[in-house]
Chain A
């Protein structure tokens, strides 16, 4: 009887849930400019300009190579970035300093775009550790999650971005954002349970201190990427640039640590 029940149950439930790649016609939107700009602590400003492409287009996106980009800080020092090829631009003189608010101006296709971002003081990654998770896995005996302890100033609102590397390669689809708005303490311990690590992995974690606008932006990108399978309405994450352009400009200071999982 048990066996019969199991067979019927399996028959019923095995018929459920399947995924298949399908052909679908999508409209082709006019290309829109996309900017990825950053100025990190003690480093020059780097910007990449590209355009949106058709969704099913497998060619790399077109780069904007004729833009004029300038960066300035709170003390009105400024410089024009040089084009390095393929839409990559970088500065020479201005380097990221804590307490400065940087403005990035882009002129492309007769339009001007402006973004501002503040560079906060350097965060401190106190400890990087790992712990074993008691969850079965198909290929690995044991799986681990990383535990990160950071120093936080409980008297001001701070925003953080974590980036992860496995064996030297950045896990580009997974990053974490954290705000101490809800939990302010001198030491914050954070674990990213979405990421599994395995025995032998070298894990590097970069901790960025970011401003609120960038924190909101990366949260929105996370929502767009990870709500794709749900039925909530998708959207374009709003940029910290003036309207008409996608992407972001981030000023940030950072700290990092590495660990090998034994």
Chain B
């Protein structure tokens, strides 16, 4: 930590002493749709000064006066070169067109081909939506969160679930952002499907380590998801129908090149079909569905100002006559991009997010719980010179927590309303992306987070936690580099959950005098090497993560409507360490990757397991994913996924005893057993229809778990029917082979 402070203090003045330069800046967009291209590369020659477009497609690059060739490139798109004479600041907006698709040119990665070597970032993965589209998943529902689970260091919380654990972190330690708004519960249908409709997602970046100071608030990872802006050239649409849901998206210009919209909806339809079928398969009073609705509007007012408005609504509804439950998220973001000068880019966001869960028993009794988040964020990018880009900003979140309220309209005596909680979290950060020389470059910065819990009397509490971040890249050769990173993260939000994968009934609460913020410190180091002209990327990363103030419950703690839950939470320490191996072929008819992680995650909590270290329920020693995609012809591609992972650590009985005629299991050590290893293979085939002007179709035919392995979802123990004192272990498997088919259109 001291080292990080020192590094920041020593290096910042270097940036300030930069010499006077002229700047060329602008936006890089896609030719056909006007969508911003994130992470497109800009190179100025001679001198080989480079820059990368930001989240809004904006780039800025400075150089002394003179004549240069400037080139813009983005994988899968044509490269454009232009001559520029820099004798004044120059605005240059560029549209890149997709290269015509050649059979040998299937591009899986959307990032610059050697960015993994040149960039100081590590522990970062970017998913292109094209990947998600080709990878088989259960019931044919394309799912970005399930695709993330195939990457190194990210494991599945439980089979079929969208819940994931990053480097041994719990699911509430993942910050999932949709256009900057936190999504507090990212799943539908008991966790099996994510809330993200992949048709309208532009970019997905996951940070497992070396997390930039721009992000804060969670202890393990950040998943930053961006929605498309909407085509500002012409109207277009896409949609599809699978076994579970149907979806439709439309987008188009309101004012050509300046203002566009995007509207998208998805709904499960099993209830509609079952109701329409003869015979009362489900009764009229039954409602059983989920839906998502996304909308976005963007407006370019002038060269300096752009505005974006994004919204998401998603809910699950499960009801039978007067009884039922529903849950879901609402998010909204308003963003304003402003260019103060060619070198100062600002983004201001106003953010709203809401997650709520509720059930009702008849018209009388209702239960609700949830969290509401009001945020404002300003981020400034200072493109000081070709070697230094400084980001600084401020983020503020006010959160309202409803830990649970049971009310009756007829008898207020039975009302149980837990006191609502309110908290304010702020983060101030500064970060510099610094090219020290042609061998070394670094990202370093610090985030200062503060937290206040508004309560009465002893409940009031405040924390200030400095969070240094550092990533250093040392290029060993043109094709390889060594990287190290350090980050400290704090988390002031806690998800009270009794399960591994997360349930909608879980409850968010803020830190308090008795629940201290989780603090994670992580060091990692990695070797990155590309082969065959950057077609194959490989990396080995090792990491060690230390967690303070992780929580568990006293035995038998009830989460719902528990007024005393804070007294039943016990805190401890955690540690996670491991090595991640990754090799990825990005281009060619055959593409895909192998990812293998070997790791341990342990915790030590006073009063549990005789105060000794024990494996966490997120501990997966071996985790292997193989992903292969093969394009047979231009219209037909085959893909397959194989996964293997060590079973999670669980507590099984080591004895039994009798009580009132019941057989009670007797437990000795916490998480002293393992679930059986889990493995399966999925396959998928995509068949595109004949290309027609303005209307294209495709079929996805897939099978999940092709060799029908009955992976254990849980193992439980019960009295057997064979004898009075006999007991048996029962394995519950959720998914055997699951075939599916989906039909997609675009127009």
Question: B539-556 CB contact bits vs A (8 Å, 1 = yes)?
Answer: 000000000000010011
Q: How far is the CA of A22 from the CA of B556 in the complex (A)?
A: 27
| A237 vs chain B, min Cβ distance (A) | 7
User: Does B729 contact A6, Cβ atoms closer than 8 Å?
Assistant: no
Contact with B736, one of A8, A15, A28, A236 (Cβ below 8 angstroms)? A15
User: Does A55 contact B139, Cβ atoms closer than 8 Å?
Assistant: no
User: Does B243 contact A182, Cβ atoms closer than 8 Å?
Assistant: no
Q: How far is the CA of A29 from the CA of B672 in the complex (A)?
A: 12
User: Does B736 contact A27, Cβ atoms closer than 8 Å?
Assistant: no
Give the interface segment out of B88-96, B592-600, B658-666: B658-666
Kindly state whether residue A220 has any CB partner on chain B within 8 Å. yes
Contact with B741, one of A8, A51, A219, A234 (Cβ below 8 angstroms)? A8
Contact with B661, one of A24, A59, A170, A237 (Cβ below 8 angstroms)? A170
Kindly state whether residue A128 has any CB partner on chain B within 8 Å. no
User: Does B654 contact A55, Cβ atoms closer than 8 Å?
Assistant: yes
Contact with B655, one of A11, A52, A224, A238 (Cβ below 8 angstroms)? A52
User: Does B657 contact A246, Cβ atoms closer than 8 Å?
Assistant: yes
Kindly state whether residue B413 has any CB partner on chain A within 8 Å. yes
Q: Which residue of B lies closest to A51 (CB)?
A: B657
Question: B655-681 CB contact bits vs A (8 Å, 1 = yes)?
Answer: 111111110111110111100000000
User: Does A183 contact B413, Cβ atoms closer than 8 Å?
Assistant: yes
Q: How far is the CA of A172 from the CA of B664 in the complex (A)?
A: 12
Kindly state whether residue B730 has any CB partner on chain A within 8 Å. yes
> Which range contains the number of A residues in contact with the other chain?
35 or more
Q: How far is the CA of A52 from the CA of B655 in the complex (A)?
A: 6
User: Does A182 contact B659, Cβ atoms closer than 8 Å?
Assistant: no
Kindly state whether residue B84 has any CB partner on chain A within 8 Å. no
Contact with B413, one of A11, A185, A227, A247 (Cβ below 8 angstroms)? A185
User: Does A32 contact B655, Cβ atoms closer than 8 Å?
Assistant: yes
Q: Which residues of A contact B728 (CB under 8 A)?
A: 21, 56
Q: Which residues of B contact A11 (CB under 8 A)?
A: 739
Q: Which residues of A contact B673 (CB under 8 A)?
A: 26
User: Does B657 contact A58, Cβ atoms closer than 8 Å?
Assistant: no
Q: How far is the CA of A16 from the CA of B189 in the complex (A)?
A: 15
Question: B544-573 CB contact bits vs A (8 Å, 1 = yes)?
Answer: 000000001001100000000000000000
> Which range contains the number of B residues in contact with the other chain?
35 or more
User: Does B716 contact A173, Cβ atoms closer than 8 Å?
Assistant: no
Known: A24-B715, A55-B656, A182-B414. A235 touches B667 (CB 8 A): yes
Q: How far is the CA of A19 from the CA of B243 in the complex (A)?
A: 25
| A145 vs chain B, min Cβ distance (A) | 14
Q: How far is the CA of A19 from the CA of B655 in the complex (A)?
A: 22
Give the interface segment out of B42-50, B63-71, B289-297, B496-504: B496-504
User: Does A182 contact B416, Cβ atoms closer than 8 Å?
Assistant: yes
Contact with A236, one of B661, B666, B723, B741 (Cβ below 8 angstroms)? B666
User: Does A26 contact B653, Cβ atoms closer than 8 Å?
Assistant: yes
Kindly state whether residue B710 has any CB partner on chain A within 8 Å. yes
Chain A residues 216 to 250 lying within 8 A of chain B, measured CB to CB, are: 216, 219-221, 223-225, 227-238, 246-248
User: Does B413 contact A52, Cβ atoms closer than 8 Å?
Assistant: no
Known: A27-B668, A53-B655, A234-B651. A183 touches B414 (CB 8 A): yes
A/B interface sample: 14 pairs, CB < 8 A: A2-B273, A8-B741, A9-B273, A15-B708, A21-B720, A21-B731, A27-B672, A32-B657, A52-B656, A55-B656, A56-B727, A57-B725, A58-B727, A224-B664
| Besides the known contacts A18-B710, A182-B416, 9 further A-B residue pairs in the complex with CB atoms under 8 A apart | A2-B276, A9-B273, A11-B739, A15-B736, A20-B733, A26-B652, A51-B657, A52-B655, A58-B723
